[in-house]
Structure formats: structure tokens, C-alpha cells
Amino acid sequence: MKAVCWHGANDVRVETVPDPKIINPRDAIIKITSTAICGSDLHIYNGYIPTMEKGDILGHEFMGEVVELGSSVKNVKVGDRVVVPFTISCGNCFFCNQDLWSLCDNSNPNAWMVEKQMGYSPSGLFGYSHLFGGYAGGQAQYARVPFADVGLFKIPDGLTDEQVLFLTDVFPTGYMAAENCDIKTGDTVAVWGCGPVGQFAIKSAYLLGAERVIAIDRIPERLEMAKTYGKAEVLNYEEIDVGEALKEMTGGRGPDACIDAVGMEAHGTDLMSFYDQAKQAVRLETDRPTALRQVIVSCRKGGHVSIPGVYGGFIDKVPMGAAMNKGLTFKMGQTHVHKYLQPLLEHIQNGKIDPTFIISHRLPIEEAPHGYEIFKHKKDNCTKVVLKP
């Protein structure tokens, strides 16, 4: 089969690799009909995620048709259309039973590697390094899905791939980010980062009762999308002091909740952001927390900070004094996708949201390297790339 394979920083190639096979009775093989490049894939592309190996298959946003089932998978059948959560979960452990699906105890065979850095391991992830299980990803023609009796979500007739593809990651990730804000009617929510997750966080904040959403970015097409489709007020951080603007827009109080939908490769215009870039370049700091610093300082006293943006290791000069003394509540984590599949599918079916608005480019899988380049560099007004195997 054809698959998008990692060969180093800024080097992905479409290669012919062996087809996946059933290994475990709870496995399934999926013929992939649609897959996408995620913003977190760019962290791998840029060389910031360790334990990648040459030839690793990328991708964690994918869906398709069931073509083969292990003997223990009884809840779906060959021919079913399914989406696949990017988090791999067993469905039986303490954490899965508490709807904390991305913290599954049993799906990362390389848990010992993560435990050395993090204390405990989260779940395995598709296509996201050997640190998180070494699972082959979904930017391919076929994929093996472990724990398929838990991980496959059947799609009803009448919905296109593009309407449901983002149930695999960015839609539930944006929704959980908004849910973590504990939004009350009338609240003001500020969202840093207007990529796909940020866009869904904006839409979800309104669904959950926010009165105002303020979106912060620097890319014109992303700001325009947040304004046009998200109905957000927008701030370009290259043109304005974001902290002062948010004070003025909220009567001096600050937003009730702030969402960092940027994560470890944040950009900025102040001296600290250049300090982060220099330290990250020589690996004295793994992540650039420019957006996170702004979030902490900008949030009102007693407010909520939600972090869906990916962080991988260690950050420097975070204003924990501000966080503690203002009494901020932090919620974060990889998304518990399984928890949100049914309710978000119903939002799509009921017309409350059409996730296709984020798609700018549709490419055959053979053009995946080009897709990575335009997505990374924001060329050709690229906001989201869907690949067709």
C-alpha cells in the first residue's frame, strides 16, 4: 500500500509499504477513504517529537471502511463506514471506565519510555512516535486499528466523509477545550490560535453558552475564518498588544476563560519569544510557551485556563506566580475522543455545525509532501489539508 512515511525533519515521503495485518483478536483493518494532516503532525515534521524512526507511517485523523475483523470484534461488520479516534483505548481499564479515554492504561506498549519523563503514560496514539506506542498512522491506504471493538465508531448513512472526518480529533479537541472552560451563560472566552482546533473551540464555546469569543492569531485567512464562520471578535497579535486589548474589551476584568490552542511552537513579537526560539533550536527548551504566558497573564482572577495545544516536554519562564495568586483553574490533556463522538455527531446531523468549513485543500495522498509544506508555511491560504488515498 501507499503510505506517508517520516524520514527526518521536513522530510516526508509517499512510499510503498507492506499492508497491515491482524495481530490481535480485537484488531480490525480499515481501508482508508479520507485522512488529514493535523497541526500536531507539524511538530513531528519540524523535528520536535522524539523517538521517531525512519519509515514510520504518519497520521492520526482518518476514517474508512472495515475490510477485515479480528475474531473478538462483534460490534461492527465488514463494509461498515467508521471513524477512528486518534487516541487508542482498551475500554476496560480504570481510566477508560471513567471516560478518561486518552489516559488508557493498556494501549501504550512503550509506557516505560513515557514514565521516565512524565511519571505515568497516557494512551497510545496513531502515527505519533514510539514514545506513544509506535503505531502505524492513518495517512495511508490501509490501517490496523487495535481495540477495534472500542475504537471504531460507525457512521450512519447520509453523511459525507468530510462532514465526519474531524470527529477523529480536531472537532472533539476543540469541543473539550471549550468544555474545560466551565462556560457560564454570558461568559467571554479568549482563544489563542485560529488553526483547526482553535476554530472548533470558538464554535464550541458558543454552543456551550459563551456570549463573546475573542480570537487571537496573526494569519489573515485564519482570522477571517474566525470572524466569518466563528462569529468571533479577532485580534492580530502582530498589530496590537493583546493583553491591553483584552483588558479594554472586557472592562478591565479580563476574559472569563482563556484557551491555548497553539502549544509548543508558538510565535510572538516580544523578546521572550525570540529567547524561546533560540533555546528550542539548541534543545535547551523543548517547547515555546509564548501563548501560554499570555493566557495566564490575560485571564481574569478566578478564571479558567484550557490547554488543548500540544506540549511535549519542558518550558521556561512560565508565570506560575500569576496563576497561583489569581486563583486560576487549569484543565488540559489529550482529548477523550470516545466520550464526544455521539454528541458531536448529533450536532452535525442537526445542522448546528458543519465541520467542512475548515478545509482549504483536498489532495491525493501522493501529494502529501506538498500538503505538509503548504500547511507548515501557511502558503496558498492553507487552513486544513485532506488527503485522499
DSSP states of 156-178 as a string? PTT--HHHHGGGGTHHHHHHHHH
CA distance linking residue 227 with residue 231, whole number of Å = 5
Q: What is the pLDDT of residue 104?
A: 98
Query: Rg for the chain (alpha carbons), in Å?
Result: 20
C-alpha cell at position 16? 510503498
Can you tell me whether residue 143 is helix, strand or coil?
A: strand
CB 200 within 8 A of CB 215: no
Is pTM beyond 0.95? Reply is yes
Backbone dihedral region of 365: left (phi > 0), alpha (psi from -120 to 50 degrees) or beta? alpha
Upper half-sphere CA count for residue 331 (Cβ side, 13 Å): 16
What SS3 state is found at 36? strand
pLDDT at position 283, please?
86
Which strands form 304-307's sheet, in the order they lie side by side?
233-236, 212-217, 188-192, 257-260, 304-307, 329-332
pLDDT, residue 284, reads: 86
Q: Which residue in the block uniquely carries the three cell numbers 517529537?
A: 49
Does the domain made of 2-169+335-388 have the CATH classification 3.90.180.10? Answer: yes
Question: Which superfamily, per CATH, for 170-332?
Answer: NAD(P)-binding Rossmann-like Domain (3.40.50.720)
Say what angle helices 170-179 and 337-349 make with each other, to 10 degrees.
100
- DSSP conformation class of 382: -
With a CB cutoff of 8 Å and minimum separation 6, the contacts of 266 are 192, 273, 276, 288, 289, 290, 291, 292, 309
Residue 169 neighbours by CB distance under 10 Å: 29
Spans of the chain below 50 pLDDT: none
Residues carrying CATH 3.90.180.10, the chain = 2-169+335-388
Q: Are 139 and 63 in contact (CB under 8 A)?
A: no
Delimiting residues of CATH 3.40.50.720 domain(s) in the chain: 170-332
Q: Is-contact 258 295, C-beta < 8 A?
A: yes
Q: What is the pLDDT of residue 105?
A: 98
Decide: 210 and 189 in contact? Cβ < 8 Å. Answer: yes
Cβ neighbours of residue 108 closer than 8 Å, sequence gap 6 or more: 88, 114, 121, 122, 123, 124, 132, 133
